[in-house]
Amino acid sequence: MITYDEVADLVTQVGDILTARKDCLGMLDVYAHGHPLLCNQLTNSNVDAWGKALMNVSWCDNASLYLNSCNSGCSFYGPGWSSLPQTPTEIGPIAEALRDAMAYDSANFPVHLTVYGSRGYLYGTHIVGDEKSVSSYFSGHLWWREYHHRYGNATDGTGAAAWLPFNNW
């Protein structure tokens, strides 16, 4: 497990591990809090910088990057959102926006990468294999309840069904 503050910390630490192992990265599982436009420090406003930084990692071809946070594969929808450009950087999903920022390019980034976003509120992690998504839920106690609403394309699922894949090629 790597603890990081900024994407540069993450890239440096992953790079150090890969150098020590003389290996490439086949899968990265970023465990974080999120919604359709963010995954902790990765946001719709800095997704291009994250993509550029992550492209400096020594990826194996056909690699996977899991944005292991709630609703990272979902979009905002409804009044207020429909007036915005319907692009991943405006309404989500953040996983698709990151995929776009890390597009396959045979000269500059010759890596087939799938960025996975969660299909709803996420429980568990991909790395452990106990992931489960729910489209909405109630939290709180007997005297206080909070409803966590469904985002645009959220669905319930376990295992692979908890994820929405975005291929960069």
In angstroms, rounded to a whole number, what is the distance separating the alpha carbons of residues 85 and 5? 30
In a domain, 130, yes or no: yes
What's the pTM?
Answer: 0.92
| The total number of structural domains that make up the chain | 1
In a domain, 73, yes or no: yes
Cα 149 to the center of its chain, rounded Å: 19
> What dihedral do alpha carbons 134, 71, 74, 119 form, nearest 10°?
-40
pLDDT in tens, 108-134: 999 999 999 999 999 999 999 999 999
In a domain, 1, yes or no: no
Q: Which of 1, 8, 15 is nearest to 68 (CA)?
A: 1
pLDDT band at 69 (very low <50, low <70, confident <90, very high): very high
Pairing outcome for strands 25-31 and 59-68: parallel
pLDDT in tens, 133-150: 999 988 887 777 888 888
In a domain, 112, yes or no: yes
pLDDT at 64 exceeding the cut of 90? yes
Q: How far is CA 49 from CA 52, 140, 151, in A?
A: 5, 37, 26
In a domain, 139, yes or no: yes
Boundaries of domain holding 23: 7-167
**Amino acid letter, 44:** N
In a domain, 2, yes or no: no
pLDDT in tens, 1-37: 788 888 999 999 999 999 999 999 999 999 999 999 9
